[in-house]
Structure 1
């Protein structure tokens, strides 16, 4: 029996662990970074823009809990950016225990409107990035004897996304990617899961009009309220800490995708 299979039941203790979060400067990524820091985990947060005020806020939270948050400016949509994210995280902290791919981009256009350029960009940022990041991070996790990977999908990947074909397609690909990767990495004690948020109040939703928000709350979401980034972050924590969950996709949408009428 392998060492992994003979392990006793326990959770992954996050204090002192190292988490790499792409797209961690706002929204779900930033809330997740704060949640890990409060558990005492060191966090490398990445983004495409120059260092922002949100990083100072996250670093203040981390300092209160004996953790450290660093910022790596890099583009998850490029092979070079993905490799550098993992390399710099490992160089700074000496390990990579958790990978959360929260980087994403809106991709407008239905079937007849979406451009090939935007289609390819959607796959680079959401799908190709996962392959590149995992290939760079997994060898460190294997050497450490454990690891966890979380992919951020979307309810749009479960039910389609009118007017945003590419976005729905790539978000739908992530849970399947997670399941396939979970099967391959299980013997190495590396768990892979995904979450699929619904309508979460982040800057990503700023394009919605007040009328659209009201319609969502009244008619589309059975719980009659929008989600918060912290709702998703707490679910991600559970999937990472519980060491007997792998290959799952957790929908966090207030019941939106279950409704029939």
Structure 2
């Protein structure tokens, strides 16, 4: 652990698994005290119905030398979010970093289905999970974050602003809208927070080797390259730790305000802050997607990691 973020208080909303879990760990590793929230605890599972828990994330923070606490919160329940804000205020009196990684909508995706064929309930649930929860969280937590200058808000998304400027074939309408909303949330929050000396950005990993993604391919982090036989472009994938290092590096940068309102990605920040993924490589995932995958070229990560 290093002490770059010692004295800082972070909330990682939706920190149960994936990118948000890794971000929580890396913030803790650098010295921040981390509140980890989500709907899945050891006593309760959310509709996602996966084994990862908020307590498991805090255990990883502890293993990394950091400190944190798990708080079960449904961020669509405004009373629970209000209570969370009051608890952080009572215990810490401040909030320096808010990472909004709330999602949990993968079971509703409906790939390739036009909106009139896709379940309306599923579409609206994705909007609730990907947009409403973020606005509720901002409403209750930002008054605490602006109490001291220098706060950071990170809205997690899927895809760069450039990628999401057009509709990706096969994506469901509601998923696209829910994820693309993060770019606009960051723009709006950057404007609203600017006078308080706070910074808001959107952040996307590349092709993430999340727990669910590895499970879907039938591989582990240790043998993930075996999945290339099924999906050759998976060669550009990155571990969750890569985006965790990206956000932690951004949080530790006193000049991070230069990124206000932008959508950032892990490969981009790796070049700026000079960090690597766990295997020593430096995947530039979204540049690869544009220049290789979307261009219809054979899978080849040469020059991209």
Higher normalized contact order (CA 8 Å, seq sep 6+, divided by chain length): 1
User: Is contact 1:114–1:166 with CA below 8 Å preserved after alignment?
Assistant: no
1:181 counterpart = 2:189 = yes
Aligned position for 2:212: 204
User: Is contact 1:99–1:148 with CA below 8 Å preserved after alignment?
Assistant: yes
Quick one: distance in 1 between partners of 2:120 and 2:215?
23
Quick one: distance in 2 between partners of 1:24 and 1:134?
16
Quick one: distance in 2 between partners of 1:43 and 1:238?
15
1:136 counterpart = 2:137 = no
Q: CA deviation at 1:89?
A: 2.5
CA RMSD of aligned residues (A): 2.7
Q: CA deviation at 1:213?
A: 4.1
Aligned position for 1:61: 63
**CA shift digits 1:102-161 (9 cap, x unpaired):** 121213222233222222221222211221111212212222123110011002872526
Aligned position for 1:116: 120
**CA shift digits 1:72-113 (9 cap, x unpaired):** 101123323332332322222221111001121213222233
Quick one: distance in 1 between partners of 2:4 and 2:218?
42
Aligned CA distance change for structure 1 residues 61 and 241 (closer, same or farther; 3 Å):
same
Quick one: distance in 1 between partners of 2:67 and 2:215?
33
Aligned position for 2:251: 240
SS state at 1:208 partner: helix
Q: 1:149 aligns with which of 146, 153, 158?
A: 153
Aligned position for 1:4: none
Aligned position for 1:170: 178
Quick one: distance in 1 between partners of 2:86 and 2:169?
35
Runs of 4+ in 1 over 6 A off after TM superposition: none
Q: CA deviation at 1:44?
A: 0.3
Quick one: distance in 2 between partners of 1:154 and 1:21?
17
Aligned CA distance change for structure 1 residues 31 and 114 (closer, same or farther; 3 Å):
same
Quick one: distance in 2 between partners of 1:235 and 1:200?
13
User: Is contact 2:102–2:133 with CA below 8 Å preserved after alignment?
Assistant: no
Moved more, 98-107 or 45-54: 45-54
Quick one: distance in 2 between partners of 1:215 and 1:184?
47
Q: CA deviation at 1:207?
A: 6.0
SS state at 2:209 partner: coil
Quick one: distance in 2 between partners of 1:201 and 1:165?
24
User: Is contact 1:37–1:69 with CA below 8 Å preserved after alignment?
Assistant: yes
Quick one: distance in 2 between partners of 1:127 and 1:61?
33
SS state at 1:144 partner: coil
Residue ranges of structure 1 left out of the alignment (5+ in a row): 1-11
Residue ranges of structure 2 left out of the alignment (5+ in a row): 43-52, 220-225, 267-283, 297-305
Aligned position for 2:10: 19
Q: CA deviation at 1:69?
A: 0.6
SS state at 1:69 partner: strand
